[in-house]
């Protein structure tokens, strides 16, 4: 089978946004405790942060990290997590039926971000709380000093303001599962008033209004329209959240799940622009795709929540296989292809909880299969995103109808080097990909890797951490430029 794409620097979409490579740390399961933080661990630093996880976070190429939730934030009292540790209360976390010890709070999180070299992105609680607590948290974090709350931060050891720019106005407020779930009108009004008050403290913040928790939500579309009618002037982003899983053994549909993400993005852009037109506004609202991933949600929903309110129980610990990584790579390609309007994104989550990094308490840390597409895209996507006009054989799926086997995008770095990111969704054969790069003038394939495996359900484990990892792709020709993409594979091709 043959596929074809064209690289032309004139097919420019937008700059590559570093914030596309954000992730998410929620107080959920073992993401914080025994994930980023484990004081007794052999690799722990003086602050109790696991150095092995810090190293892997840097290797992953993470730009921003959203915190502290997620569903958790909708019941969170941020004050519980600051000040002397021995005085911090233990609380019931209703979202995950766990006990929160509050050993980690905003000051420690920001300290961890500095070590990891990432930008913190905060969410405020608009479930059980409101305007006052959001403004208090902002003042605590960002005001230099000289007020009760900023001085409290200084007294707690953070002399410099945290300088957090990006703030989420609540989390998934359209979801019935959310503590303090609201209608679009209730949420839109509250988000507007909260944003206005936060901007009185600091007009330069970047604020995210909650969009839909998925494109299959009954309120999808109507929710964004109503929320944005209330908030258009005071927010910069509307959020999208999407999770995908293989259902009933339908691998073909699963590998094409980025089709839904494309539809999701197009619909939200159209809705936001429609509201802008109605309001006669020239302002443009972008998308923060601040939760996306493969998540075997149906397994999680079938499991009983923990009954005895444990501390940091293993929750949502999906172990990803090759097919998951390929579907995941397709989602990354879609985010990049839409860089004109998706200007921020957060992979949910970073460690242990539906995560690219796994750890054993007290033990090893390793890269899941999904680590690799993320790390490669973050490392090699720079400069500008280019459309590639793919021409590809297609196949029939139960969920999305006919879909192309090839899904691809390219980026062009400042030095002119081009990288193609490509997924072969076909389960039964390779794709011979011909690249028309005449517009670049006499380039060659300077390197090509592929992430694939004879067993599409092969996983990495602590004992076999590199079973699924990118390997050099030997099937490359230079005249014409041609690369053979194995079935069910994620591929990175460098031209120069």
Nearer to ligand AHR, 27 or 153 (CB): 27
Nearer to ligand AHR, 140 or 264 (CB): 264
Q: Does 70 bind ligand AHR (CB under 6 A)?
A: yes
Nearer to ligand AHR, 76 or 254 (CB): 76
Q: Does 318 bind ligand AHR (CB under 6 A)?
A: no
Q: Does 93 bind ligand AHR (CB under 6 A)?
A: no
Nearer to ligand AHR, 39 or 314 (CB): 314
Q: How far is the CB of 8 from ligand AHR (least distance, A)?
A: 38
| Token pair of 3 as six digits | 């596929």
- The yes-or-no answer on residue 193 being catalytic is no
Among 29, 35, 69, 486, binds ligand AHR (CB under 6 A): 69
Q: How far is the CB of 181 from ligand AHR (least distance, A)?
A: 12
CA distance 144 to 210: 28
Whether the Cβ atoms of residue 234 and residue 195 lie closer than 8 Å to each other: yes
Q: Does 344 bind ligand AHR (CB under 6 A)?
A: no
Nearer to ligand AHR, 213 or 473 (CB): 213
Whether the Cβ atoms of residue 425 and residue 408 lie closer than 8 Å to each other: no
Among 113, 126, 287, 348, binds ligand AHR (CB under 6 A): 348
Q: Does 346 bind ligand AHR (CB under 6 A)?
A: no
Q: Does 373 bind ligand AHR (CB under 6 A)?
A: no
Q: Does 174 bind ligand AHR (CB under 6 A)?
A: no
Which candidate in 38, 100, 133, 172 is catalytic? 172
Q: How far is the CB of 480 from ligand AHR (least distance, A)?
A: 44
CA distance 474 to 398: 34
Among 6, 22, 23, 26, binds ligand AHR (CB under 6 A): 26
Nearer to ligand AHR, 69 or 127 (CB): 69
Q: Does 170 bind ligand AHR (CB under 6 A)?
A: no
Binding mask 192-231 for ligand AHR (x = CB under 6 A): ---------------------x------------------
Which span sits near ligand AHR by CB under 6 A: 41-49, 65-73, 120-128, 439-447? 65-73
Q: Does 171 bind ligand AHR (CB under 6 A)?
A: yes
CA distance 388 to 224: 30
Whether the Cβ atoms of residue 449 and residue 471 lie closer than 8 Å to each other: yes
Among 349, 352, 378, 452, binds ligand AHR (CB under 6 A): 349
- The yes-or-no answer on residue 172 being catalytic is yes
Q: How far is the CB of 363 from ligand AHR (least distance, A)?
A: 24
Which candidate in 79, 100, 291, 384 is catalytic? 291
- Count of Cβ atoms closer than 10 Å to residue 40 Cβ: 9
Q: Does 35 bind ligand AHR (CB under 6 A)?
A: no
CA distance 474 to 472: 6
Q: Does 291 bind ligand AHR (CB under 6 A)?
A: yes
Nearer to ligand AHR, 36 or 408 (CB): 36
Q: Does 172 bind ligand AHR (CB under 6 A)?
A: yes
Interface ranges with ligand AHR (CB under 6 A):
26, 69-71, 171-172, 213, 291, 348-349
Active-site residue list? 172, 291
């Amino acid at each position: 089978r043959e596929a074809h794409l064209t690289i032309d620097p004139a097919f420019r979409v937008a700059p590559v946004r570093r914030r596309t490579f954000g992730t998410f740390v929620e107080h959920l399961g073992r993401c914080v405790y025994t994930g980023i933080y484990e004081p007794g661990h052999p690799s722990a630093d003086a602050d109790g942060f696991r150095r092995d996880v810090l190293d892997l976070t840097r290797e992953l190429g993470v730009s921003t990290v959203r915190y502290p939730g997620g569903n958790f934030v909708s019941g969170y009292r941020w004050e519980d997590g600051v000040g002397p540790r021995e005085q911090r209360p233990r609380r019931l976390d209703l979202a995950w039926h766990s006990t929160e010890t509050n050993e980690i709070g905003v000051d420690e999180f920001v300290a961890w971000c500095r070590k990891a070299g990432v930008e913190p992105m905060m969410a405020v609680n608009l479930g059980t709380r409101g305007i006052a607590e959001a403004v208090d948290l902002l003042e605590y974090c960002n005001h230099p000093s000289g007020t009760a709350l900023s001085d409290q931060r200084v007294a707690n050891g953070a002399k410099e303001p945290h300088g957090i720019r990006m703030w989420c106005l609540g989390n998934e407020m359209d979801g019935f599962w959310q503590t303090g779930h609201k209608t679009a009108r209730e949420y839109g009004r509250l988000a507007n008033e909260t944003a206005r008050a936060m901007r009185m403290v600091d007009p330069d913040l970047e604020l995210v209004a909650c969009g839909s928790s998925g494109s299959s939500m009954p309120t999808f579309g109507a929710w964004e329209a109503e929320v944005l009618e209330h908030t258009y002037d005071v927010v910069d982003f509307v959020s999208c959240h999407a999770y995908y899983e293989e259902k009933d053994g339908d691998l073909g549909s699963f590998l094409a799940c980025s089709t839904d993400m494309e539809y999701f993005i197009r619909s939200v852009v159209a809705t936001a622009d429609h509201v802008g037109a109605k309001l006669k506004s020239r302002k443009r609202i972008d998308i923060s795709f601040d939760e996306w991933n493969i998540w075997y949600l149906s397994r999680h929903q079938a499991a009983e929540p923990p009954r005895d309110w444990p501390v940091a129980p293993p929750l949502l610990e999906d172990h990803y296989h090759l097919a998951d990584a390929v579907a995941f790579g397709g989602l990354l390609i879609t985010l990049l292809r839409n860089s004109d309007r998706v200007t921020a994104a957060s992979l949910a989550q970073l460690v242990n909880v539906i995560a690219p990094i796994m750890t054993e308490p007290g033990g090893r840390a390793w890269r899941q299969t999904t680590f690799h597409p993320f790390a490669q895209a973050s490392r090699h996507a720079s400069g500008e995103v280019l459309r590639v006009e793919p021409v590809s054989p297609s196949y029939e799926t139960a969920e999305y109808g006919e879909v192309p086997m090839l899904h691809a995008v390219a980026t062009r770095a400042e030095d002119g080097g081009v990288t193609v990111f490509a997924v072969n969704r076909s389960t039964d054969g390779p794709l011979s990909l011909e690249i028309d790069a005449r517009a670049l003038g006499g380039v060659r394939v300077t390197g090509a890797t592929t992430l694939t495996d004879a067993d599409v359900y092969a996983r990495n484990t602590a004992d076999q951490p590199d079973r699924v990892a990118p390997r050099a792709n030997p099937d490359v020709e230079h005249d014409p430029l041609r690369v053979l993409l194995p079935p069910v594979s994620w591929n990175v091709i460098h031209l120069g």
